[in-house]
Structure 1
Amino acid sequence: MSLWRMEWARSLRQRENYVFLVIWILTLVLLGGLGQALPVAADYTNVSATLITVLGLLLPLFILLTTALHWGQEQESKRLNLLSTFTYPKWKLILVRFSSFLVTQGLILLLAFLVASLVVGQSGETWMILFSYAIGLTIYATALGTLLGLIARKRIRAMLLAFLTWTILVLLWPTLLVTIVSWLPYGMQVNGMIVALFLNGFDLMRVWASTIVSSSDVFGDVYLHLLNWMHRPIGYAGVWLSLLTASGFLLSLASTVMYGGNRHD
């Protein structure tokens, strides 16, 4: 527990966290305030979808870059080699840093959403879904960024690898998904889309948040039966269980990379 408090205090001292706080407050207030400034823009398409899109673009990028650079710097400075001389298990070190960073980002997001909810007249349910969406993105991005940083082993490579991963999984994913699924036989395309949805935690959270806040009809008939399933309690459980399982798998891979990297140093 003392190591966790030390890592959390270290995370709180990082200036970029407070930059994130200002960015999220401005984003939520400015975009969410459209519903008050322009009543015609208060529907899902113009406000909630914009918030989901902007959070889905910016949050993974910031978290991936931050965590990947952090672990890349640790590898480059050989600080991990120093820590490896202690008897503390390396997988626990990864878990401690993951959880302390996650708690810090969760508090920052909570404060940003509380401030925005006092200024912007969105419903409490909408804010809760958006906050859950942001937390889900943060969990997955932190786990993925940890793995990328340990693989890269250098700060510049960690930054490039994180940006490339963000480009593929966030920016290019819809195009890549449609292209790959179009190669499948027609009868398998729907199932292919559904399976692919659970391969990318960022896209899974985006679809989940969009279906809860909006009508599932926005995605068309292909996703209709899956999205109706997401509205139910079992859908909530399935989405979050998949996200947490994928994040845990990424952390286990990061632990494996960390052990392997130390053997080769």
Structure 2
Amino acid sequence: MEGVWVVLLAFLTCGYFALAGFDYGVGLLLRLVGRDEPSRREVLRAMTPFFLGNEVWLVAAVGVLFGAFPRLEGELLSSQHSVFAVLLAGLVCFTVAVQLRSPGWDFLLVGGALVVAVGWGVLLGRVLGGPSVLWGAGFVALFSLHGAVFLAWRLSGELRRRVVSVAVSLVLPCVAFVVAAVLTAGSVPVPAFGLVAVVVVGLLGGVWVALRGGRYRVAFGCSALVCALPVVAVFGARSVVTVSVMADLSTLRVLTWAAVVVVPLVLVFQWATWRMARAAR
């Protein structure tokens, strides 16, 4: 049962990075891609139908963390409290700015997206023993790439050509980040980390090829996996520690009944969100 909860937490966290990652990427690129107010509104309209559905993954993952991994939650909050405080501030600013967006809110929208991207990168980098600056900058690049690929899929005309150019230009910096992350993560002896890095580089190559060929859905699938796989590396690095800080077995049995209800609801809500957005397009 312990293994099931580790897999569930990893699954929900990967889902959050793979989907909400493009929300933050769109926020980071808002002023770069949208060069006037009408184009900025079009950029945000492409993302906002998916926004709340994507954030549900984070809510579910936090619920699992607090319920099934109480000691891990305590250790993370005590050791990384400053990172979590900044992350929370960025999430609040970004969410409020998206919901109440007007030209005057762009500073909070872009700034919130930047804080979230850097914050997640710093947190994962610290877990894997890598330099915080490298991981913060690397996640800005990864989320920006993911957001650009998403916009290439959802937009058309001049805006699509613009974001495709941005996405293609971001592939090489993302590859450089992955290589540098492997070379600087020596404090965490994870044999699988190198394999994950090879897969990520291969997926980045897939993004480049798919964009060049106009296969935007394929490119989006590749970039979603690119954003999720660093989470896999973290769980691979900390799997033994994660199991050791779980709740007792009786608590896990009770939580399992809640998970049987909640996880399918998350999946159904996500499916319905994408279905409605597709029908409205």
TM category (shorter chain) comes to: 0.3 to 0.5
Q: TM-score with structure 1 length normalisation?
A: 0.34
Normalised TM-score (structure 2): 0.32
Question: Which of the pair has more CA radius of gyration?
Answer: 1
